[in-house]
Structure 1
Amino acid sequence: MRVKELAGKTAFVTGAASGIGLGIATAFAQAGAKVMLCDIEEEALSAALKQLKLTNADVEGVKADVSLKAELVAAAEATTARYGKVHILVNNAGVGGGGPYGTWTEASWNWTLGVNLMATIWGIEIFGPLIEQHGEGGHIVSTASIAGLISGASNAYNVSKYGVVALSEGLRLELAPRGIGVSVLCPGFIRTQIVNSRRNVPKRFEEGVPAMPTSGPRAEQINMIRERVSQGIDPLYVGELVREGVENDWPYIFTDLEFEPFVEARFAAIKQGFDHIRGRSPKH
């Protein structure tokens, strides 16, 4: 049973105090959904809730570090205590951690994969049964990135986002018979705080996550990304696209066409790999 309209449904959104998460929470609330906003930043969460409540939205907030499974379990319990049922899960929390080859650290990998990928896996494991049990259908949206389809560097961020895409593609087939739709959001440059992710590094990873470089080619690349992000697409527009994607059960939700040629080039390179062996008989 698909979620054809959001009115009266309950959604749980991670990373909801700012950026894309807040855009999604706002679009859902405006469509008449009840929304539990989850975020690690308490002040930003309070400000977001205050703003949304001015519009008479039925919203509540819960603080959690989604890279800790126990905190996600507690957030799920707070959601069912407040709203009873959950219909929509949005695994959106994300960090832009991890440098290219030669700059890797264990803490960077653990933090980035913990927030971007493991929290998505745990979110589905925890909320999936809650969506199934009421029999009213539901939907899961997980935020990957266009970097989940085209990898420009060997970093933890891209690896985590490819993981989210693979997880979503597989789950879509598995959960369709259970009445749960699955979409993966692959945004391009959106006006968020992704470049300042280090502000939320948990204490257990703090020492091992290096500060942003201030000079050299990598610093220039980060500054270019920072500039693109600051001029990026409005997160509220992304929220509306996600609402439409849920209501129409889109497998992939994109935000713009900028990277379409790069995705096509990747597919062409994969096709070329098959062309190399076309006509050859495998030896058994």
Structure 2
Amino acid sequence: MKELAGKTAFVTGAASGIGLGIATAFAQAGAKVMLCDIEEAALSAALEQLRLTNVDVDGMKADVSLKAELAAAAEATTARYGKVHILVNNAGVGGGGPYGSWTDAAWNWTLGVNLMATIWGIEIFGPLIEQHGEGGHIVSTASIAGVISGASTAYNVSKYGVVALSEGLRQELAPRGIGVSVLCPGYIRTQIMNSSRNLPKRFEGAVRAPPTSGPIAERINQIRERVTQGIDPLYVGELVREGVENDWPYIFTDLEFEPIVEARFAGIKQGFDHIRGRTPKR
């Protein structure tokens, strides 16, 4: 997608944070953008603000952890714009919890929004991108926690899944003229630490009150502070625009975690070193 002008993009989690940053960057590059979000008031405010700059944007309220609502959003997008060229699976929640506090509701919510909605988005929008024959691109937001295990277990699992999905699809969809990128942001100034504000009733019990003291409480406060002082989502949006235009497989936002990623790879290589020179039994 060397040229975004005139193309149509569908962005989930687009009412705030990274999603709004991406939608803004795409719209300013001349793309038509359908913003999708579960938070109706924030979505209306985002659309009102964007339209002040005379860009072509529209919005659709949807809970992406419900496949039917995501399908309805796709229908609304094609009804409004005719074609879809770019899919951005960005909606995400910071759910989960440490070992010992897991619940089915927490796993279902975290995997439902972070991973299953991404899978469904590709399943629903992939054929729409293919059918016009003009090429396209898919961006899915993972996290730096998709390549290093530094967050809660459920969150890590969901984001590793997005990375694996994107890596596999990049090979599968290239012959069909569709590029695939995975976004792995670090600390970005978003509302990820307040994900429970949009918790659907069917996932009741997924979020428990965090501890007020002890190591876990300290870690949560540290992360909250880092997020508050994080990178501007508009900057991330510009990185994603550049990544789509140049077909980057991985889109990172900063270099902070590069040494940790290298250490992980070194640990993986050490696993091979343990068996180097041995002959497997057949």
Length-normalised TM-score, structure 2: 0.99
The equivalent of 2:73 in structure 1 is 75
Runs ≥4 in structure 1, deviation > 3 angstroms?
none
- The residue number in structure 2 matching 1:219 is 217
Deviation at 1:211, TM superposition (A): 2.6
Counterparts in 2 of 1:153 and 1:243: CA distance versus 1, 3 Å: closer
Q: Secondary structure at the match of 1:66?
A: coil
Question: How far apart are the structure 2 equivalents of 1:201 and 1:61?
Answer: 20
State the distance in 1 between where 2:55 and 2:63 align. Answer: 25
Indicate if the aligned counterparts of 2:148 and 2:264 stay in contact, CA closer than 8 A: yes
Percent sequence identity over aligned pairs: 89
* Contact 2:96-2:152 at 8 Å conserved across structures: no
Q: Answer yes or no: is the 8 Å Cα contact 2:140–2:162 preserved in 1.
A: yes
**CA deviation profile, 1:116-155 (whole Å, cap 9, x unmatched):** 0000000000000000000000000000000000002551
Alignment-derived partner of residue 271 in structure 2: 273
CA distance in 2 between counterparts of 1:192 and 1:40 reads 15
Query: Who is 1:23 aligned against?
Result: 21
Which is further off, 96-105 or 140-149?
96-105
Structure 2 CA distance for partners of 1:82 and 1:153, relative to 1, 3 Å? closer
Q: Please state how far the C-alpha of 1:103 moved relative to its aligned partner.
A: 1.1
Larger deviation, residues 127-136 vs 99-108:
99-108
Number of residues paired by the alignment? 282
Contact 1:13 1:25 in 2 (8 A): yes
The match for 1:188 is 186
Matched, 1:49 2:47: yes
TM-score when normalising by structure 1: 0.98
The letter for the 2-side match of 1:203 is K
Contact 1:88–1:140, Cα closer than 8 Å, also in 2: yes
SS of alignment partner, residue 13 of structure 1: strand
Give how far 1:156 is off: 0.7
CA deviation vs aligned residue, 1:211-258 (integer Å, no higher than 9, x gap): 333332212111100100000000000000000000000000000000
Unaligned runs of 5+ in 1: none
The code of the aligned residue for 2:46 comes to A
Please give the residue correspondences for 1:55-94 in structure 2 after superposition, counting only pairs within 5 Å: 55-94=53-92
In the alignment, the residues of structure 1 paired with residue 257 and residue 215 of structure 2 have an alpha-carbon distance, to the nearest angstrom, of 23
Q: CA RMSD in A?
A: 0.8
